[in-house]
Structure 1
Amino acid sequence: MEVQPKINDASFRFVETNDVEAEKIDSPKYSYWQSVWRTFGRNKVAIFFLILMLVIILMSFIQPMFSGYDPMNAEKINDLSARYIEPNSEHWFGTDANGQSLFDATWSGAKTSISITVLATLITTVIGVIVGAFWGMSQKIDVFMLEVYNIFGNIPTLLIIMVLAYSLGNGFWNLLFAMTLTSWIFTAYFIRVQVMIMRDREYNLASRTLGTPANRMIFKNILPYLTSIITTDVSRILPGFIATETFLSFIGVGLSADIVSLGGLIQKYSTNIASQPYLFWIPVSVLALISVSLYIVGQALADATDPKNHI
């Protein structure tokens, strides 16, 4: 007869079953937006340009509140001692032919340029994303909108803006209307293509079969997955609009003489590029910093909002 070995009861310990502990998941919690900022924070170059961009924006909107800069003010034009003072500790950016501070003029111009750019981008993106989403979901809308896109897509956007600006007259809101009247259609077409790719995936087909309304599918099933794509498009639109505003102001279209912008300053002081170069190059440098900062920060955010980069 085989002898069974004795089991030492002291070597074993019974563990009680705990239903609450059994339901806990050992994997760490995942937060999409926390991962976005964590990924963005690893890009030191983007952080630097983000800080630089915030400083420029704060200066552009706070400094003009205290300077009281008026581009039509020429009370110092006969004061020769105040004219063409090169940058120094008192006049950081120097003065122009009217004895006005270029420091005040630059930040007032930056405020106008940034305001137009941000508002135009916001209007274009909101309208473009919404129209593009429904455009990509509906075949009936697709037939009509493709014809509209073919019409405006073959006309240079800058030409449309210039014609509208001349027709409506100079002014901040007139220029904003001219810049956004047709620009949204290109964003809408871009979103339409992305939505058409997403709408035929299995979970969307199942959702449609179960009778889910199109608007719920768009805002719940599709657009959240296009966050990084929309951010990428915004990072492209922002520098494009500020370049358009600068060009139009440079050729004297869009804004009236009493509204200063960076493009207007560059045009105004372009004749001083040889004699007083600081008048020309300082607004150009501020414009370049704004454009580069917007692009780099936008691209870094686009990469950070892509879940595939969340490691």
Structure 2
Amino acid sequence: MAALTPEKFKVIGYTEEDANRIDRPTISYWQDAWRRLRKNPIAMGSLVVLGILLVMVIIGPHIKGYDYVSMNIAEKNQGVSSKYWFGTDNLGRDLFSRVWVGARASLIIAIVATAIKLIIGTVYGALMAHFGGWVDEVLMRIIEVINSIPSLLLTILIMMILGNNLFALLVALSVTAWCNTARQVRGMIKQLRETEYVYAAEVLGAKPLRIILKHYVPNMLGILILDTATAIPMFIFTEAGLSFLGIGLKAPSISLGVLISMGQQNMDFYPSQLLFPCLVLCIIVMAFNLLGDGLRDALDPRLRQ
């Protein structure tokens, strides 16, 4: 039997140099995550929907040109028409403009509350994990005490003391939310602080704050992005629920929760006043949740196939 030699094989479609190459272009962690995210049609569709919603909360109140504050009793409780796309409320104000103003307010509240949650939780968790020992024990006990208090009861107490205003709402939303972030950051940094580059930074005399910002935070961006994607819809829904129950913002402030609360009073005769704020709220929350699921699959190495 004749021996098999390389000369008896012919490479088709590639040069001999290309056929012998075994390397491939190297890509970074974030490039690989973006590539995986693009392969998820549901996540990309949610990203497009969020982009459209972002544009609408900016330009939506100005599309029809109606003042969303001024009352027009002569045209109150109007239905859907070419003049009023979402109809009018019980004071004759254009509901289309008010819905997008309310969505803007709800998004701003959720983004600010998420930023507060991430900043406090990241710094607190990093301090626990970096110093360890009695510092870790004391700070962990504080988290356990805070988590032992029912969050709804604590929210009601804060709103009663500080009043139904934006500052009180942000405090109520953020007072316990950062605890979960702190726990996640603590667990992640417990692993990172054993690495060589952190040990080298400590030997060179780097201060704890520099180590946290320079070495810990960049390696936790995946977790923090996932936390952001899940926290924003949670805060939007919580704000809407509190305002609907009369605990959060109240008229004349405008948010999706306030609009839903006002629409609920007239839903028997004018259901559109409740339908459109609820529809926009559901679309925003669903888009963020679906995008968060896609980001989790793209960023978490343990979930990659």
1:18-57 pair list within 5 angstroms:
27-57=24-54
What SS is found at the alignment partner of 2:220? helix
2:220 matched to 1:226?
yes
Question: Percentage identity across aligned positions?
Answer: 32
1:245 aligns with 2:242: no
CA apart distance, 1:101: 1.4
TM-score norm. by structure 2 comes to: 0.82
CA distance in 1, matches of 2:27, 2:141: 44
**Which runs of structure 2 are paired with 1:20-169 in the superposition (5 Å)?**
27-64=24-61, 67=65, 69-71=67-69, 73-74=70-71, 76-77=72-73, 79=74, 82-139=75-132, 140-169=134-163
Q: How many residues align?
A: 281
Q: Structure 2: how far apart are the matches of 1:271 and 1:56? A: 27
- Relative to structure 1, the CA distance from residue 97 to residue 216 in structure 2 (aligned partners, 3 Å threshold; closer, same or farther) is closer
Q: Which amino acid aligns with 2:105?
A: T
SS at match of 1:192: helix
Residues 9-30 of structure 1: CA deviation (Å, up to 9, x unaligned) = xxxxxxxxxxxxxxxx954132
Structure 1: gaps of 5 or more residues: 1-24
Instruction: State the shift of 1:301 in Å.
Output: 2.2
1:103-125 deviations in whole A, cap 9, x for unaligned?
11111111111110011001111
- 1:166 is displaced (CA, Å) by 1.6
**Which residue does the alignment assign to 1:294?**
288
Structure 1 residues 199 and 97: CA distance shift in structure 2, 3 A: same
Q: 1:298 to 1:30 in 2, by over 3 A?
A: same
Deviations 1:269-304, CA, capped at 9 Å, x for gaps: 112222221111111110000001111112222332
RMSD, aligned α-carbons: 2.6
Q: Deviations over 1:178-227 (max 9, x none)?
A: 32233223311221122223434x53685478456444544444433333
1: distance between equivalents of 2:59 and 2:247? 27
Larger radius of gyration: 1
Equivalent of 1:184 in 172, 178, 189: 178
Contact between 2:37 and 2:298, CA under 8 Å: does it hold in 1?
Answer: yes
Structure 1's 108 and 138: CA in aligned 2 closer, same or farther, altered over 3 A?
same
Tell me by how many angstroms 1:95 deviates. Answer: 1.5
Q: What is the match of residue 18 of structure 1?
A: none
Deviation at 1:136, TM superposition (A): 1.3
Distance in 2 of aligned mates of 1:89 and 1:65 = 16
**Distance in 2 separating the partners of 1:190 and 1:130:** 12
Output the CA distance in 2 between the equivalents of 1:56 and 1:205. 42
Amino acid at match of 2:168: N
Query: Residue 39 of structure 1 contacts residue 309 of structure 1 at CA under 8 Å; is this kept in 2?
Result: no
Code of the aligned partner of 1:292: M
Alignment gaps of 5+ in structure 2? 1-21
Contact 2:122 2:181 in 1 (8 A): yes
Alignment TM-score, normalising by the size of structure 1: 0.81
The structural deviation recorded for 1:34 is 2.3
Aligned match of 1:5: none
Task: Supply the distance in 2 between the matched residues of 1:65 and 1:177 (Cα, whole angstroms).
Answer: 31
Q: Residues of 2 paired with 1:84 and 1:255: CA distance? A: 23
SS of aligned partner of 1:300: helix
